[in-house]
Structure 1
């Protein structure tokens, strides 16, 4: 059951981040947007792994990596 909650929560976070970005409420270069994407992708990757959906795991691992690289870039720019 918790795997389903983690997966659905991840999906919700990614969709919410996209909706907030699309409506101008979040900035793509902002920490909140990137954190929502990283956390969402992690949840979906955990769910995909539990269900043996390796293409989904791969996709979400790349999604997380992109978000983590963006967060690292933001940290460097702020330092």
Structure 2
């Protein structure tokens, strides 16, 4: 295995660990589903999966994770936007 192949595999395993950790923390009630931490963990993890899957030719997995990352980015944007708007009485 080349250094690049090892790096791609490490990225894939770290992505898997990050997404699994986000799910465990969410399931235990330690983080909120619309919280920044959960969403960033998923965006970064999905991005790692895109890199790993794309490199290894697993295009359905890469496509799914592109959508997963975009959903996370959209949620981050909508939460940020909702939190900066003043509350109307």
Structure 2 length as normaliser, TM-score?
A: 0.87
Listed as ranges, the gaps of 5+ residues in structure 2 are 1-5, 85-89
TM superposition shift of 1:78: 1.5
Q: Work out which of the residue numbers 44, 54, 59 in structure 2 matches 1:49.
A: 54
Equivalent residue, structure 2, for 1:69: 74
Q: Show structure 1 runs of 4+ deviating over 4 A.
A: none
Is residue 29 of structure 1 aligned with residue 34 of structure 2? yes
Highest relative contact order (Cα 8 Å, sep 6+), 1 or 2? 1
Select the structure of larger CA radius of gyration: 2
Listed as ranges, the gaps of 5+ residues in structure 1 are none
Structure 1 length as normaliser, TM-score?
A: 0.98
* Backbone CA RMSD of aligned residues: 0.5
Is residue 9 of structure 1 aligned with residue 14 of structure 2? yes
